[in-house]
Structure 1
């Protein structure tokens, strides 16, 4: 095997979570294939090795990969070295690397360097990026240079940019120049922009030209734009045209806008028009909701009627459930009718119970029919009896089924005994719940006597599913306990793994922690991390660190980051930084950034001068923070010259905005490469 291949293999999946030796990075920079160096640079940057990452990009660029210049520029930008990053982007743009000029412009804009950012946007536009014209124009507009901005918007529109004129109108509207903005919006509407007509309507309404605004809203609606419907209604209401406003809300409601009904109801109520009941259906009045359903029923709209009956039931109407069941039965859908009758019966509707008994009998379900007959007969006593097999009972609490194995029914109850459900008029009887298992009080042993410990809880005893079930029950997690009991058909290792996961999320008791630790001692790798998390939740930080260390040693890279975060939350920044460094060395993509954030939070109180140096210079392999280092643009074979473009108008500051030369960024105080 060739040496370069052997070095690259060291960063393969088998090295996941392990620290990369310092010498390996130097060898990779020299011997790795140029096509691999950019990817290796990102891997180094993930570990906070900024100097090595930029060096790999430089060597890749010198070997003929110009795209590595853009990668290196991005890494320098992330390190806050804006001037050097811009130079690298400039070199990449000189070699026609896609989007290099645009990235330089974005970087300089974020850094507050307005003039240089505009230059780079212009350069990106000359390279064919029409959106860069618009972004440069918006930047000019924010700084008050309107004429050059509008010129760039127009250039972008002529080049085929679909939103350029609309963005120009937005810029002028934000500056309060409504008349000019309207002209640009009208041109954008002619170009087919979906929001331009609404913007035209809005400007006309603000100017008091309501009829003209309505015309524009109509054009927007004809094009499928429902954005301005509520604005149109509010504008019409403001000038007293209530019927027209309500008509706009009705349009929106017909197209599926649920809020439009409520807005229409509120509109009519504000102006004393209470006669149109259907408008109030969405406010939540059960009677009006039922009225709406009955209207649909008379119009043979079964689906619509059922939807309104459902809403009425949700608003508290029991009658709506019975009406829905009756509607379905009349239309021959007896199966769904049974479901709606059951919902009504569950709310104590005696007539629904009788109808259920009749319908179940007609369907040949004699047992269910007899059960519902008894339930209806007993309803007058104030204790309606629902059949034990009633589907509604299971549907209302399907999650309780697994508890049958954990919480047994009273022994005196026969197998076919009905289940009592209290009606609203009578108090509910106390449910029969088995008494919890209370361990016997511990009696202090005589001096010199050994304390009695259950055999399955002694150190070294195997973790068992039965003990896990008992621990879950003690924590009140009967559902999980039932799932474990019902999983006897699964392999034992799988059941133990699931039990550990359940315990770690349910309790942090000492016995539960000891159970998970015993499982970890048998070789269950996830249990090591779960034990650490349980100890952390219990506040036993030092013990948790021991187990996080054990998990990391076993190859769990995430354990390093979890330990660092635990220490950071407990305000131990110095130790947290050490664990963050280990996590970064292991390739965790979040560790280096979180370490920087932690150092920024604590400032100079942790390690004076470390935060700034680490941010700009990164770490060194196997050591501490890197010393200051330069990031000169690497020597790359020159690319063909870019032909000069037509001159763009000068900005108000007198500098030609569209210079063809590659704009240099002046160094600022504190820059690592400043003279």
Structure 2
């Protein structure tokens, strides 16, 4: 039901306008327009113009001209028609195009409702107020105050307000109460409110109840509710139904239903039609809906358009159609939209869509949003964006949310923040999403207190996802006790994400059995991260088949952690080809696999100690290994598998020496996979000869991926004759990576046709289509289509062949060939030639080339020259250029803009962006946020982030953690970290 209790601009005119006074409608439109509420002003001017008010017609036409609707403005000024909008749609049959609404014949407006009385003159003590009129006044033609008043009314009704003013003033100064009131209304409409108040006060002193009401409305609009109440009560006590109505509305706005009921009942039972709807509202809110419905019907029958709209909303669509039509015929925009949706839903879409657009043109926010969606579906993106913006500005919550998303994705976080706030203020139907997106912006800016306050409000309102967001902030602030309370509240609502986070929090505090229970519930409830957490427990408990089923049940989500966990599990079971397929995204889902057998779950919970052991390993604690072997063996898991899994965890934690020792223990227990993984560890730490030995032993023992790794190691070392048989073995066993490496070897030895056959086999095995790629046209076409499988564009190809292939096309102006040629030169260390061709491609509009040129210049320590090229690439969607541009801006002291470029990449998971975003926060002295983003980059393997995080933690007093990260950075080859390690070890 429409809220009749609100205030706002033009409050003193609203009651009379709603009662049908066209002068009040025109004045209300003027007040709304002055306050910036142009859409609502247009609605009131349109209603008054349709009722024949000439002044409103002119104001409406002026607005239409200003907003580019010239034809409609001309129609209002020059045409006369009496048909309704539905009749114009086709004789009431809803056929034909929707016309521009023309003005009806001009008729005299209804008088302002006041109690019937003989015109009264009272002596006014002192000097009457004066004012200089805006234009030369028409002097009164008689000394008779009543005659001056009558002339003034006639002039005002025909829009000649400047001439009416001196007539009203002459009568008012002679003590004519009605003239005082009309003069005050005229002054108020002309923004001369102080003098208007003086005349209302004098008329009210003389007993004019209508002036008491106008003055009361003026007080209410200024927030002076006490003075307004006293005036309304005086008018009501003197028998004014309008006074009773306004007194009731004032109480209704304050939520005082019992106080509102009596005056509204009095006005309604006495026949004041303006009170019917408000009285119905009181009855509804006090659980007397049956009586409220009767009064709502009476209000609708009396012509209250908002009542018609509200009544239609309570009826079945067939019965509602009568009231929608009546309201639409009188140009009621909300009813237009509701009726339009009804028509569209009942197969009358053409007319419904035209009526919906008419509602949108008249300022109905949901209609604007619907028209925006309609334009988007039709491919008119520009119109869709314009309507979406209009809907957001009109207070449509979903439109505001979508505008927040669009600006956020475009990197304009400040504007996105404003729209998310407007979405929440407008009551967007999914406040948790808007709150999260707004909170992430605040967190990214280091405004943690604001983010916490925002999350607290959403959590207090009962939004489970916001409870999870709040708990995350609280954990970072060390308030784990309060975080647990909020997570429990969220988990009790059934939200899987809350259950998962609660499990993680409990696990970190040693409550392992309960953690396993929550992870199980979250995994069965649909949380992929919980599936990984619980799947790890299942594997540790020996329930590998159950873990696989659980992972496969989430395969359709494409979640990288689930697919990674499934691939690792398959690798551990010796099913390397299946694991490779999973890593390519080729996995058969098992929808029914999320339910875990109770007996299996009991085993997991009984062995909850394994949770803590895994966490200890992840922190680099090698002392957990023997206990893991003991527990795992008791649960039926081979010791070699446990040792290999523990070694992998320790390696990820940076404990390379201990991991190497555990791999050797697993090898002694007969694990071929441990040989292979040991080879990887040795190769990553620069011990190629030892890596070769273990790759060879693993390959001879039957490890599926070992032939490729051994062959690639030999290929990289230039030992092509030794590499070829191992790569052939891996390729013939179905390893697509080995196929590609073999193709590179063959192309380097000029066996192009056989190389192409292996490339095509790899593509075919991965679900692609084999294609030829032996000409520049083919390569360029593959580049344009995003397919980079052609062996001619790999780093190890013959550079002379590539240059001779691409140069003719590049010199002929093909920008793709320029780009490829520039990259060939760059790979071969020919930086000057690379810069020349990349620059030519970039100037021709090749944005990837601009990014590569920027990277080349950065590598040459020429950041000032790199910046414009990186900006070109970043502004045209080259994601990697965004973080490089941010890094340049950060180095040159432009931190604010740097943050805007770094944020999208960091959020999307780019490790370099996360590293520089962490440095950005560090420069802004937001240490907690800096630590969070550096952690993200370091966890992903960025050695610069490892070093920066280690130094930061050491400075903050967490020396053991700092040392851990510095050692990991040193092992990853970071030169400064290696210097630190040399010094720390006494070197």
Q: Same fold by TM-score, threshold 0.5 exceeded?
A: no
The normalised TM-score by structure 1 is: 0.31
Larger proportion of helix: 2
Specify which structure has the bigger relative contact order, considering alpha-carbon pairs within 8 angstroms and separated by 6 or more residues: 1
Q: Which protein has the larger Cα radius of gyration, Structure 1 or Structure 2?
A: 2
The normalised TM-score by structure 2 is: 0.23
